Amino acid sequence: MPIVFTAILPHPPLLIPSIGKDNLRLLEKTLTSYKKIEQEFYVSHPDTLVVISPHGHIHNNAFSINLHPKFTVQFEEFGDFSIKKNFQGDVMLAHRIRESLETIPLQLQSYETLDHGTSVPLFLLSEHLPKLKVIPIYHSGQDLKAHFEFGQLTKKELYKSKERIAIVASGDLSHTLSKKSPAGYSPKSKKFDKKVIDYLLEERKEDFLDLDPQIIDEVCACGLKSIAVLLGIIDGTRHKKQLLSYEAPFGVGYMAMRIAF
C-alpha cells in the first residue's frame, strides 16, 4: 500500500526549542508524542509527506494545493531567524492529484515559504529524512462533509502512486479552553474536545462530520477540516487510531493521534 504513515498532529510553534524555550516543559506530553511519532515516521521510510494545513492561503469556495519545486521552513514571524530548512516539492504527484480532481473547485498555489501549520510538523518529523518531498494541501471554507469527500477523491490518486506516502492532518482543537486563551474563553470547549476525541477513537465518522459549525466557530477549533480530509483518505481501510496525548497548557487543545494500518 503506498500510504505508509498517517497521523493527526498539533502545530504550536512553541514546540520548536528555539521558540518555546522555558515553555517546552509545559508541552511535555506533546513533545513525547512527537518523538514517538518521529521514530515511527522514520521507520516507515516515506518518499513524500502530504501535510493538510488550516493556515495556508485559504479560498472560501475552493481547496488548494501548493505546487512549488522547493519549499522553505522558517519561523521568523515567531522570532527565530536561525532556522531555514529546504525541502523538495513533489511536483509530479501534486500535478497528478490536480488532474484527477477536475470535478471539484481546486486552486493551485506556488509559495516557497511554508505556513506554520505545515512547517511545525514537517520540521519536527524530518530530522532523519533530509530528502523527503512535500505536498502542502489547504482546506476551504466549505463544511466538514465537503472536506471528507475531498479526501475520498484525493485518495484515488494517492493509492495509485508508486511512492511511499505519509499524510499528516495538522491542526489544533479548541482555542478557548481558559480565560487566558488566545481566542477568549468558551465553557463549551472542554466537552467539545472530548467529544471530538471520542468520535475519532470510536470510529463515529458521521457524528464527527455532523459537528455543529456554530460551536466549531465558537471554540475556534482549527484542525477539524484537516482531520476530515484525512478521514476521507483512509475511509474504507482497516486501521486503528491511538490517542498519544492531549493537553492544553495555554488554553489551546493539542491532540496527537497515530493512525496505524
Write out pLDDT tens, residues 206-243: 999 999 999 999 999 999 999 999 999 999 999 999 99
3-state secondary structure of 92: helix
Write out pLDDT tens, residues 143-160: 999 999 999 999 989 999
pLDDT of residue 57: 83
Beta bridge partners of 168: 7, 51
What are the residue ranges spanned by the domains of the chain? 3-260
Mean of the pLDDT values across residues 79-88?
96
pLDDT of residue 87: 97
CA distance 104 to 200: 26
Residue 151: closest CA among 187, 142, 260, 55 = 142
Mention the CATH class of domain 3-260: alpha beta
Beta bridge partners of 186: none
Mean of the pLDDT values across residues 155-166?
93
The pTM of the full predicted model, rounded to 2 decimals, is 0.97
